[in-house]
Every structure is written in structure tokens, then in C-alpha cells.
Homo-oligomer: A and B are copies of this chain.
Amino acid sequence: MTTAETAKAETATAETTNWGRWGADDERGALNLLTPEMLKAAAASIRTGRVYPLGIPIQANGVPLMDYRGKPMRLTLQDSTDEGIYDVYGCKPGTGAHEDVLVFASHTTSHMDALIHVYEDGHHYNGVPAGAMRALSGATKLGIEKVGGFAARAVLLDLPRYFGDPKWVEPGRNITGEDLAGASAAQGVDVRAGDVVLVRTGYLQMWFEQQGDSGFAQAGIGLDAAEWLAARDVVAVGSDNAAIEVIPFENNDFLAVHKVLLVRRGIYMIEFLDLSAPAADEAWEGLLTVAPLKVTGATGSPVNPIFVS
């Protein structure tokens, strides 16, 4: 960091951020909170042995996509029309292989944001300047490959159940810290340091039922809940909506919650997770693994987190 950046970082780290908390050069943020002991505790919390893959499909239609991100493409690289090309390797007649090429946005359907994803006042987490992201090389710092992949205890909070909503929380509702505390109390599960908190709003069920005719508004957490989560030192927050946070944005401030969690605290955000199956099973606690693809320099990755309860 330049002197100016260091000065900026020092200001920002006063209480409201995690900048500098794990060193001036840290690129992993809240993942530093995780300890082997937490993992063992998470493993010990597995009771039913049920496994929930939380990702939704990646396809061109029938799933929520942002127009500017383009439509995912699966293209055939090799199929049965290629018979004979492996004869030199001893390929018998009738034997062959099918392969594809995939084209999609790093933030398509279920995905995890890298710390390079969002910046505020020209800076990312830990004072990394916005210019650390470059068009040709991608992220020179804070790229998704720095995450590597992680496992943690996860807690699922089911807000439609807590609010008594029939199917989903009404679009635009700002979920508060008190709401999260209330839901965790009602479900009998506590939020601890090092946890991933999965906040179910029912948005995906609304989207699938209405096939996208639901407009831009979504229920999600607001600034109060973001601070509540940050104060508890969670590692990541996942949700079933497009941006974790309530839309329209709180205070009409674009990505307000991303700035609190991702930029200031280095707390990861995982969007578009289908949380309906574990919610139906009342699987409130378990071990979660999140395995972004290690695409060097990328700003995020599609993921399919595995929740074992």
C-alpha cells in the first residue's frame, strides 16, 4: 500500500472494519476466523447425515439471470460424430467420449463473491485500490483463488417461517438484526463466530412460481442485520436472493450491505442458494462446504455449496 492508502486504511479500520485485523497484506478476510476446533464442532453438529447441495441449475432459461451478465451457454466440444479420432490411442469401435465448453458469468445463478467484487470510496477490503482489478489480467489481489475453498459450521434461519409468511417474505422487506435474533431463538439455534449464516427469504420459490415476473424488489437483510452479523464475526452470509441485501437498497445506497460486509469486514457473500429443502427438513445447523472454482484473477465463482446436517 502507498502511504495514502495506509492512512485511509487506518481511518477505516476504526471499529467498523476488519482492515488490518489480519495483517496489512491479508487477502482472505473473515476466512481467517476459521479454526480446526470450529470445524470439529461443525462436524459434531451433524445429526441426521442428510446432504443438501444448495446450488440451483446453470442454464439459459428458467432460472433468475441478470440480463447484463448474458445467458449461460453449454456447448458441445466432442460427441458421437467424432468417432475415429482416438483410434491412434486404441479406441474400439463404439467407444467414445462426450465433452462440453461452458460460457457463463462468474456471478451467474448460485455464486460466491470474491473480495475484489465490490469497492467503496475507490477501495476494496483491506484498502486494496479498485485498480487492483484489471481488464486483461483480472484481480491482482483479492481474487476468488485466494479463497481456495472452505468448510464451516452453518446456521439456517428461515424468515418466512419466523414472520409467519405463507411462502416468502414480501419483496422489499428489510430484514433486521432483531429479526435474525428472533428467528435463531425461535428455531433454537445460535449464531457463533466463524459461522456461515444462511438467510432464507423464499425469494427463489417466488421467482420459480412467478418465473421472474416479480420485478426488481426483493426481501433481504438491511444495514442493521449486516452490523448484527458483523458483530458476531461470521465468516460468510448466504441467501436465496440476488444480492443478500434488501432491494431497493437501504437509504437508496447501491450495495449498502455489500459495503458493510464484503468491503469493510471481508465477510463473504453467497447469492442465489436454494435453501428450501433444508428448511423443509428443519435442518437448522450443520457443516457447510463452499468450493469456488479456483479461476485465477476472477471476481467470484459459481458455487454449489454442500450442507450436511
A residues in contact (CB < 8 Å) with B: 34-40, 43-44, 46-51, 53, 55-60, 67-82, 85-86, 89-92, 94-107, 110, 116-122, 130-131, 133-139, 145, 148-151, 248-249, 251-255, 259, 287, 289-300, 302-306, 308
Contact = CB atoms under 8 A, between A and B. Distances in A.
B58 A296 contact: yes
Given A101-B75, A136-B82, A89 B291 contact: no
Given A99-B107, A99-B299, A138-B74, A39 B43 contact: no
Given A75-B76, A148-B53, A85 B289 contact: no
A21 B120 CA distance: 41
A96 B118 contact: yes
B101 A55 contact: no
A106 B117 contact: no
A306 B294 contact: no
A76 B253 contact: no
27 contacts: A34-B51, A39-B49, A40-B49, A53-B149, A55-B291, A57-B294, A57-B295, A57-B296, A58-B295, A73-B101, A73-B103, A74-B298, A77-B105, A80-B119, A81-B134, A89-B249, A90-B248, A90-B249, A90-B252, A95-B119, A97-B119, A99-B117, A101-B105, A135-B135, A289-B306, A291-B304, A293-B302
A36 B52 CA distance: 12
A116 B98 contact: yes
A262 to B, nearest CB: 10
A294 B55 contact: yes
Given A39-B308, A92-B253, A151-B308, 10 more contacts: A53-B294, A60-B70, A89-B249, A94-B121, A94-B122, A95-B119, A95-B254, A100-B299, A287-B308, A291-B305
A122 B303 CA distance: 33
A103 B100 CA distance: 11
Contacts of A254: 86, 89-92, 95
Contact of A138 (B100, B116, B293, B297): B100
Contacts of A131: 80-81
B70 A97 contact: no
A64 to B, nearest CB: 14
Given A76-B75, A99-B107, A149-B304, A291 B53 contact: yes
Contacts of A96: 118-119, 130
Nearest to A68: B136
Nearest to A95: B120
A298 B82 contact: no
A12 to B, nearest CB: 13
A82 B118 CA distance: 13
A192 to B, nearest CB: 15
A304 B287 contact: no
Contact of A304 (B43, B116, B293): B293
A90 to B, nearest CB: 4
